[in-house]
Amino acid sequence: CPWDWIWHRGGCYHLSKDWRTWEQSQDRCSELGASLAVLSDEMIKFFYHFSAKEDFWIGLRR
């Protein structure tokens, strides 16, 4: 994983503190060669811990 990403269960994850819309977040992920994460309940709890309990986007869209 790049230095500012988190390795968890076989994948690399980046937690950005930048405020973006969902669309802007998806575009940024594409620029990084990634996509917004689709997380299980267990993984949501794990990343909630790392996010300092701030809001974050995942790969859900209505």
Classify 8 as helix, strand or coil.
Answer: strand
Q: Among 15, 28, 27, which residue's Cα sits nearest to residue 56? A: 15
pLDDT in tens, 38-49: 777 777 777 677
pLDDT in tens, 5-29: 888 888 888 888 788 888 998 999 9
pTM comes to 0.62
pLDDT at 27: 94
Task: State the residue for tokens 């575009």.
Answer: 27
Judged against a pLDDT cut of 90, whether residue 30 lies above it is answered with yes
Q: Where are the domains of the chain?
A: 21-62
